[in-house]
Structure 1
Amino acid sequence: MPKQQVPEAVPLIAVVGPTGSGKSQLGIALAEAVGGEVINADALQFYRGMDIGTAKVTAEERAGIPHHLLDVLDVREEVSVAWFQQRSRAIIADVRSRGAVPILVGGSGLYVRAALDELEFPPTDAEVRARLEDEIEMVGTAALRARLAEVDPVSGARLGDDRRIVRALEVFEITGRPFSSYMPQRVYHQPAVQFGLQVDRDVLRERLAKRVHAMVERGLLDEVRELEANGLREGRTAARALGYGQFLRVLDGEWSVAEAAEDTINATRRFARRQLTWFRADERVQWFDWLDPGLLDHVLSALRRSGPLS
């Protein structure tokens, strides 16, 4: 296929949707068609060695397309949205500077928004947070929620758990601004276009079950065993990842492989529903049938029609 021209007004393409919908394949096909490079926006694919359980594309599947932000963290390391925003935006600028098209691909909704949208991260102060945590232990949740409602009624009405109440009060104490003032707006940081994959839920449910069983057959338990030896349990994010937390329980003798697989299937289905809810709330996403034989052509047609976006 000859290289397609991308409108100058659209320097960034994002491919979004639920897990198992074919985002990676569409991202690679788009990159081949428009001269692009893929930037990973799946939070768990940042981790080295987490390959089978995250359905990470292999070197062969990448078809020579450069992929960024894959295998950049050790399983012991923690990842933050702020870290991703900084790294992804630097990569987007670099890709564009070389005349290529950056294509963000992933289903981690907040990470996608951090790359695409105007999203400001409030500062932190460990001492202030520790003091507030001690206080909520002593006087209780209700007292601090009432204090929060006085200085930030929006957050006071919305937040219920101790951790978030403490965080909101911490931000107000440090900055003098309500925590709710940092809420992201659906305004692109730079012109962008988002393509979402619309799925048949019943078909996706079956596909996810088959995918988990295929992961088990490919050696998911051995992958978890190897990662455990390399510190998997020390990483709060990696150890709780779908599939990995379940198969750690197999290693602990708590579950059988079949029980871990079944729980992983159910958890993955729930996760896919949450992803759909998240992305459907964004009216800027253009949706396409994931099983459409002409999917790539239809997405390219939509891309050619794209004009300046806010």
Structure 2
Amino acid sequence: MIIVLVGPTAVGKSSLAVEVAATMINNGRPAEIVNADSMLVYRGMDIGTAKPTMDERGGITHHLIDVLDISDSATVADFQQMARTVINSSLAAGVTPILVGGSFLYVRAIVDEFSFPGTDPDLRAELEAELEQIGAPALHARLAARDPEAAASILPTNGRRIVRALEVIMITGEPYSGSLPSHQYALPDVVQVGVDAPRDWLDERIERRVQQMWADGFVDEVRRLEAAGLREARTARVAIGYRQVLEFLAGEITEAEAMRRTVVLTRRFSRKQGGWYRRDDRVHWLDARTATAADVITTADRALA
């Protein structure tokens, strides 16, 4: 069995996954956690990603955390290969992998049938030059005109994914949304369990999380990463929060505005995540405010019974 724990940012997936794994292990069912969040892979990006600390991991083995430097750029195809390798190794060893993440496309690419369209280095370079010249929002507007469905699934600030979507459209002549994963599992015995909650409850958690990030030294974390090349990092620099603090450090906005924008963008992203997952009728939903490890395990066992 492969348990896939999904849901919007700040809903409590990471801590619930640890409880699920610990409960399974205590019941004689070995389990490990596989990260599917696209930013937890980067070393040093800890506070702003709410990366679980070693204490918070509760002694449970976590895979695909702190495996890349911020200068590295991991594509969805790279992540798919890394995650499937870990999952298949776990299954072969009799261990239940618990895939946890908020990155909708990454989760789908890992568990569903999905082959990636080819690339065109010259076209990619041309689009990346445009990205630097006119910015991600302008390219996002172009994508929205060509493929509204794809644009709705990509944040206007995520230049890397916007470029990739436009590249696929221009290579294939087809909508990028048509190349997204089908609702057909590529892995055996997958059960998706979603956790969600009312918007006001989640909005409050997001605001508290961002405030705690600042209290924990988030600005200093970004300052250290900036010295290590975060501004030049193609993937890491676009993460919500990090981009806003970089703008503050550059004197473009105030620190208060950086915090406010981080809250607003995180809430917006959280809403998008919830919407994406709600469209997948294979997800079994639980209320995040009351869901227990036993609820998740029972839901998964019944789904495969």
Give the TM-score normalised by the residue count of structure 2: 0.82
1:228 and 2:218 equivalent? no
What one-letter code is carried by the residue in structure 1 that aligns with 2:37? D
Residue 257 of structure 2 corresponds to 259
Residue 279 of structure 2 corresponds to 281
SS across alignment from 2:40: helix
Structure 1 runs, 4 residues or longer, greater than 3 Å off: 127-134, 155-166, 177-183
1:247 and 2:241 equivalent? no
SS across alignment from 1:186: coil
Q: Write the mapping of 1:139-218 to structure 2, written as runs, cut at 5 A.
A: 164-171=165-172, 182-190=179-187, 191-218=189-216
Return the alpha-carbon distance in structure 2 between the equivalents of residues 257 and 133 of structure 1: 29
What one-letter code is carried by the residue in structure 1 that aligns with 2:5? V
Return the alpha-carbon distance in structure 1 between the equivalents of residues 109 and 102 of structure 2: 13
Return the alpha-carbon distance in structure 1 between the equivalents of residues 35 and 177 of structure 2: 29
SS across alignment from 2:245: helix
Q: Is the 8 A contact 2:150 2:177 kept in 1?
A: no
What one-letter code is carried by the residue in structure 2 that aligns with 1:287? W
Residue 92 of structure 2 corresponds to 97
Q: Is the 8 A contact 2:120 2:167 kept in 1?
A: no
Identity of matched residues, %: 45
Return the alpha-carbon distance in structure 2 between the equivalents of residues 66 and 77 of structure 1: 24
Q: Is the 8 A contact 1:129 1:170 kept in 2?
A: no
Unaligned runs of 5+ in 1: 1-10, 135-154
Return the alpha-carbon distance in structure 2 between the equivalents of residues 111 and 295 of structure 1: 25
**Aligned-pair Cα RMSD in Å:** 2.5
Query: How far is 1:62 from its partner?
Result: 0.5
Residue 119 of structure 1 corresponds to 114
* Cα displacement string for residues 83-122 of structure 1 (whole angstroms, at most 9, x for unaligned residues): 0111100000111122111110000000000111001101
Residue 8 of structure 1 corresponds to none
Number of residue pairs matched by the alignment: 273
SS across alignment from 2:3: strand
SS across alignment from 2:73: coil
Query: How far is 1:167 from its partner?
Result: 2.8
SS across alignment from 2:33: strand
Larger Rg, first or second structure (1 or 2) = 1
What one-letter code is carried by the residue in structure 1 that aligns with 2:168? R
Higher mean Cα deviation, 14-23 or 161-170?
Answer: 161-170
Query: How far is 1:250 from its partner?
Result: 1.9
Residue 45 of structure 2 corresponds to 50
Query: How far is 1:297 from its partner?
Result: 2.0
* Cα displacement string for residues 275-298 of structure 1 (whole angstroms, at most 9, x for unaligned residues): 000100000000001011x52222
What one-letter code is carried by the residue in structure 1 that aligns with 2:118? P
* Cα displacement string for residues 157-187 of structure 1 (whole angstroms, at most 9, x for unaligned residues): 9678887455323246xxxx99776342100
Residue 271 of structure 1 corresponds to 269
Q: Is the 8 A contact 2:33 2:97 kept in 1?
A: yes
Return the alpha-carbon distance in structure 2 between the equivalents of residues 227 and 273 of structure 1: 28
Structure 1 pair 132–239 and aligned structure 2 pair: CA distance change class (3 A): closer
Q: 2:104 aligns with which of 102, 109, 124?
A: 109
Return the alpha-carbon distance in structure 1 between the equivalents of residues 16 and 192 of structure 2: 12
SS across alignment from 1:288: strand
What one-letter code is carried by the residue in structure 2 that aligns with 1:300? I
Q: 1:14 aligns with which of 4, 17, 22?
A: 4
Structure 1 pair 269–182 and aligned structure 2 pair: CA distance change class (3 A): closer
Query: How far is 1:133 from its partner?
Result: 9.8
What one-letter code is carried by the residue in structure 1 that aligns with 2:6? V
Residue 4 of structure 1 corresponds to none
Give the TM-score normalised by the residue count of structure 1: 0.81
Query: How far is 1:247 from its partner?
Result: 0.8
Q: Is the 8 A contact 1:14 1:103 kept in 2?
A: yes
* Cα displacement string for residues 45-86 of structure 1 (whole angstroms, at most 9, x for unaligned residues): 111000000000000111110000101111111121100111
Query: How far is 1:132 from its partner?
Result: 9.5
Return the alpha-carbon distance in structure 2 between the equivalents of residues 86 and 167 of structure 1: 20
Structure 1 pair 77–63 and aligned structure 2 pair: CA distance change class (3 A): same
What one-letter code is carried by the residue in structure 2 that aligns with 1:182? S
